[in-house]
Amino acid sequence: MNRPAAAARDATRAFLARAAHVRAPAKDESTDNVLLVVTELVANAIRHTVGPFALHLELLDGYIDVCVTDRNPQPPQPRTPGTDGSGGWGWFMIKQLATRIRINPVPGGGKTICAVLPW
């Protein structure tokens, strides 16, 4: 098991449990959607970068802002999703689930990808 990815999912579950006490999710699938986006962004940070990454979650008015910062300055390179197990589905799913995506450069190298999802 990938420990950093599991830790990110565990932290997200704890955050979402607290967020649900502040504002209940609008849809039953909101928690699963946020967890899926966190999993994909973290997996991409682990797979495509060298060095640490950071996860930041924020409860906004009716939304959850999921941000992952890594050391690779290159933006995601979308690929055609393959049905043969070759991948390409992660970025596609993130774009389908998020209402807005931001990619910001980080001074000194790297980037932050933020996906805003309905809550």
Give residue-wise pLDDT tens across range 65-98.
Answer: 999 999 999 998 887 777 777 677 889 999 999 9
pLDDT of residue 48: 87
Output the pLDDT for position 52: 92
Helix, strand, coil content of the chain in percent (nearest 5): 40, 25, 35
CATH number, domain with residue 70: 3.30.565.10
pLDDT confidence of residue 110: 95
C-alpha–C-alpha distance, residues 16 and 101, integer Å: 20
pTM above 0.85, yes or no: yes
**Total domains present in the chain:** 1
Q: How far is CA 84 from CA 40, 78, 88, 96, in A?
A: 19, 17, 10, 21
Q: What is the pLDDT of residue 116?
A: 98
Tell me how far apart the alpha carbons of residues 31 and 56 are, in angstroms, rounded to a whole number. Answer: 16
Are 26 and 119 in contact, with CB atoms under 8 Å apart?
yes
- C-alpha 29/C-alpha 46 separation (Å) is 26
Angle between helices 30-48 and 3-22 (to 10 degrees): 150
Domain of 99?
3-118
Give the pLDDT means over successive 10-residue stretches in the chain (119 positions): 87 98 95 97 91 95 97 87 75 95 95 98
